[in-house]
Amino acid sequence: MTRASLVFGALLTVLVPLSLLAGRVWIAPWADGPANAALILGELRLPRAMLAITIGAGLGAAGAAMQGYLRNPLADPGLFGIAPMAALGAVASFWLGAVIPPAFAAWALPVMALAGAGLGMALLALIAGRTSSDAAGGAGGGIALFTLAGLMLASLAGALTALAITLAPSPFALSEIVLWLNGALTDRSWREVAIAAPLVAAGIAVLALAARNLDALTLGEDAARSMGVEPRRLLALLVVGIGLTVGAGVAVAGIIGFVGLVVPHLVRPLTNRLPSSLIVPSALAGACLVLAADSIVRILPMVTELRLGIALSLIGAPFFGWLLLRMRRGQL
């Protein structure tokens, strides 16, 4: 257990009970709570907290892996275009809402979103086969070209999503889509936890497998290959790992940005700064960040709850600006 994992693990064990007690109805453990306290805890707050931890852990680990892979502290897992593809799948499910039998309707959104993420991964794998520079394959574009392919995928998915919104079948579907795209954890149940948790756990495990290979990239692609790293295998691990962590998160909570970008920066000063030392602590720190942010949006005195995705972007965008300033001063 590294120092960073201990710090963020301890923080998480403090945050979980706090998050369970906070909300529109405050539950004080030392006094008699409201009559439905057990229901609020077991059916509303506990699944919501678990979901926040799951999604945050996935985004944190994916961010650490992505920054290691691109050798760039400003990289975000969104760069692979998997989140927009998952969102596109989800938006498509709103379109299909009318034709899906009611029994499956509840599953349509997460399943379609996962299908979108899977399609994104498959397209990336197809592109990667043509761009990764392997000894056997000869010349290739390498990491930079692959990243541009991810951006292309992201813009395409974004454009199709925008198209789906403008052609929305009904005003009701339109507002549903727009609300859903700004990710949130409101009204989620154990069902979403059951969908996302195993996929995110598997994704983090896959990223952990890639960790030492990411360390080798510290000295560049040629040096990494000379140390025995196989670019195709590394890329496959990353596409699967990021696809599972990010895709599962979008499938149950919509788009939640900036977590993957911000979290590794909170973790890095506590580690030796190599990507392998960041993945697990970033998962823990991501869980802390999303859990804390979701608890705060829940207790803010607003008429309608501030969407978690919007709140995190409001924090994340200025943080990104601060990173840029630090980078300009050569402190990053």
Q: How far is the CB of 211 from other proteins (least distance, A)?
A: 11
Piece of 102-110, 131-139, 246-254, 287-295 that binds other proteins (CB under 8 A): 131-139
Q: HSE of 161 in the Cβ direction (CA atoms, 13 Å)?
A: 24
Size of site (CB under 8 A) for other proteins: 24
- Could you say which of 40, 158, 230, 320 contacts other proteins (CB under 8 A)? 230
d(CA 294, CA 51): 10
Q: HSE of 58 in the Cβ direction (CA atoms, 13 Å)?
A: 33
Q: Does 316 bind other proteins (CB under 8 A)?
A: no
- Could you say which of 219, 314, 324, 327 contacts other proteins (CB under 8 A)? 219
- Could you say which of 9, 21, 27, 71 contacts other proteins (CB under 8 A)? 71
Residue 212 vs 319, nearer CB to other proteins: 212
- Could you say which of 98, 163, 226, 325 contacts other proteins (CB under 8 A)? 226
Residue 33 vs 73, nearer CB to other proteins: 73
Q: How far is the CB of 78 from other proteins (least distance, A)?
A: 20
Q: Which of residues 157-216 bind other proteins (CB under 8 A)?
A: 212, 215-216
- Could you say which of 162, 273, 324, 325 contacts other proteins (CB under 8 A)? 273
Q: How far is the CB of 83 from other proteins (least distance, A)?
A: 24
Q: How far is the CB of 125 from other proteins (least distance, A)?
A: 20
d(CA 55, CA 283): 9
d(CA 72, CA 78): 14
- Could you say which of 225, 310, 315, 319 contacts other proteins (CB under 8 A)? 225
Q: Which of residues 137-156 bind other proteins (CB under 8 A)?
A: 138
Residue 268 vs 307, nearer CB to other proteins: 268
Residue 56 vs 275, nearer CB to other proteins: 275
How many of the other CB atoms lie within 10 Å of CB of 327? 13
Residue 130 vs 273, nearer CB to other proteins: 273
Residue 194 vs 219, nearer CB to other proteins: 219
**Residues at the contact surface with other proteins, assessed by CB under 8 A:** 71-72, 135-136, 138, 212, 215-220, 222-223, 225-230, 272-275
